[in-house]
Chain A
Amino acid sequence: MSEELVKAIVEMREQDALQLTRDLLDGGSSPLDILDDCRAAMEVVGRRFETGEAFIPELILAGEMLKQISELIKPRLEAETVGEEKLGTVVLGTVEGDIHDIAKDIVGFMLDINGFKVIDLGVDVPPARFVEAVRESGAKIVALSGFLTLAYDPMKATVAALKEAGFADVKVMIGGGQIDDHICEYTGADAWGRDAMAAVNLARQWS
């Protein structure tokens, strides 16, 4: 464990984090250990986000740092076996008619870094596509994103389509700018979340 690397990521020192990664790799550190450091750092960033000490800029920049670190270690990673156990699979997407992706992408990143396999279906996803993805993957969790008030009905239709297809045991969470208890009840979703860490906590509860 490189505490220096963890600290650099947590403190948003991008260039330091990248240089430390290069130094660690040159010094013979295992790429998997570096990934563990990234995870440890993201745990701190996630916690800070929950307690109101970190915000969207930090989540996005941390995502950017991790992407670059992954690129650096990738050539050496393939030599090692990666048999990482996932906590579960989440099918994620912005519902039909809505093309907003920023919040969905942050949720996807936070789920991924917290140990979930994420199947991101993108934006403007029809209910049938969610059903198909659940069928193919065996996922037990679906996360629906929507920014518009016009997303309420497609969310409801997606929940209904999943039930109709026999996936009553699949848990559905919803999130977006105008989502609250009323909309959770209206759509028939199992829960709603205000932000990306809420999504992670729900997924943990359901796994």
Chain B
Amino acid sequence: MFVKPDNWDQLSPEEKKKIRLDYWESSEGLVFASPEAEARYRERIHRLRNAIDLNGTDRIISNPSVGSYALRRAGLTGYDMVYNYDKFFDPIMEFNNEFQPDLAINGFPYPGPVFDILGLQTYVWSGQRLSEEYDIQAVEGEYMMADEYADFIMDPSGFWLKTYLPRMCSALEPLRKMPDLPRISEIVDLGGALLPFGMPDVQEMLKKLMEAGNEAMRWISTMGKLGGALAAAGFPSLSSVFWKVPFDFLGDTLRGTKGIMTDMYRRPKDVLAACEAYVPILVSGITKACDAMGAPVAMAPLHKGADGFMSQEQFETFYWPTFKAVMLGLWEEGIVSFLFAEGGYNSRLETIAEMPKGSTVWWFDQTDMRRAKEALEGRACIQGNVPASLMTTGTVEQLRAYCEDLLEVFSGSAGFILANGAGVDKTTDEHVRTMIEIVRQ
């Protein structure tokens, strides 16, 4: 747990960031597997810190996003990623020990039993609707209706509890009966508020929540054990707190693509007000999570603001203001935003360069890296952008040529990390080795 010093409120964002990075780099309490592992860890995490901090690094870092490949290579399937995460440990440790990447390469397990117990509606997964090869996929839908904006804006937490969660999970339907909590004041209110908890369907739901909670504990402890073992073996991680941009929360989670895209014309004020309602919730929640995890960085995948999804004017009206507000709120707390810009972000480069120096790390997928460098050099650490297609179907020579070009573009850069854009399920050991070793040559 990261504990803020007493003079925290008097510090600048840069000073707060330094304290968070110092704490993270110290890796307090971590017991290493060997003195060699510790030496490697210290060297690697310091290099990563320098990249994030734009201090320049002794060499470029390589960070192939191949966790799924590491698992599939050992014979695990999409089904295992959803149900058998206890099988992750050996293949992931073996993969890291064999390839000695600069940063930990880890898979992402999904808590399938939790999905089953709660009757998750917003995704389909392996063993349920998907075959064994696939893990999970989102189901597009309207989980908040167009006429419910006002309810959400007035009370996001209440809307989430009593309207969204019952739609998200069938077993949570009885949450609709939950009382209006801020009305609980006098003893008589307390009695009334407890009545739903005496109802059979609510009690049944609570039992399911406890059962799901036990599964979630098993899931998190499996992940924690693996993350700890990777660090102990010498592999630091940029793994961090996960969040989403207000507009993407609305678009991905509540309204669906079709809903949010038409809302920009049909009810623009509602969209803006809903995005604004998200800002304080995100800033406060992410900050607390970063404190609890000792993470200096919070990561958001970016979806509906990419090139082609909307005009620059729409981006600057609907997407950017509250996105920026969340990042600035985090920056006030010394937290760096790590953004995965899926697809292209060419038309947004000048806008995102508005962020204070050192407050962001940008992971690009299909963005033109020369233009990205031009816009962000000296302002943000940049990661990317080997195409997933090249990792999956290109030759090693094609991959090497692409990486060499990137290394040339970013030669002498203060903060650059070589990585693929979208994550990769299928590739070869030779591709992975090429990407890891090319930065050391």
Contact = CB atoms under 8 A, between A and B. Distances in A.
Given A102-B140, A149-B424, A152-B392, A55 B258 contact: no
A102 B393 contact: no
Contacts, number: 90
Contacts of A180: 387, 389
Contacts of B310: 55-57
A166 interface: no
Interface size class, chain B: 35 or more
Interface residues of A, number: 31
Main secondary structure on B side of the interface with A: loop
B261 interface: yes
A100 B265 contact: no
A55 B308 CA distance: 6
Interface string B331-358: 0000000000011000000000000000
A206 interface: no
B224 interface: no
A92 interface: no
Nearest to A101: B140
B314 A55 contact: yes
Nearest to A102: B257
A57 B137 CA distance: 23
A54 B265 CA distance: 13
Interface in A151-207: 152-153, 177-180, 182-183, 185-186, 194-195
B124 interface: yes
Interface stretch (B126-134, B167-175, B206-214): B126-134
Interface of A: 12, 14, 53-57, 60-61, 64, 97-102, 148-150, 152-153, 177-180, 182-183, 185-186, 194-195
18 contacts: A55-B309, A56-B261, A60-B257, A61-B262, A61-B265, A64-B262, A98-B137, A101-B140, A149-B425, A152-B392, A152-B426, A153-B426, A177-B342, A178-B388, A178-B421, A180-B389, A182-B390, A195-B308
Interface of B: 124, 129-131, 133-134, 137, 139-140, 257-258, 261-262, 264-266, 308-311, 314, 342-343, 387-390, 392-394, 398, 421-426
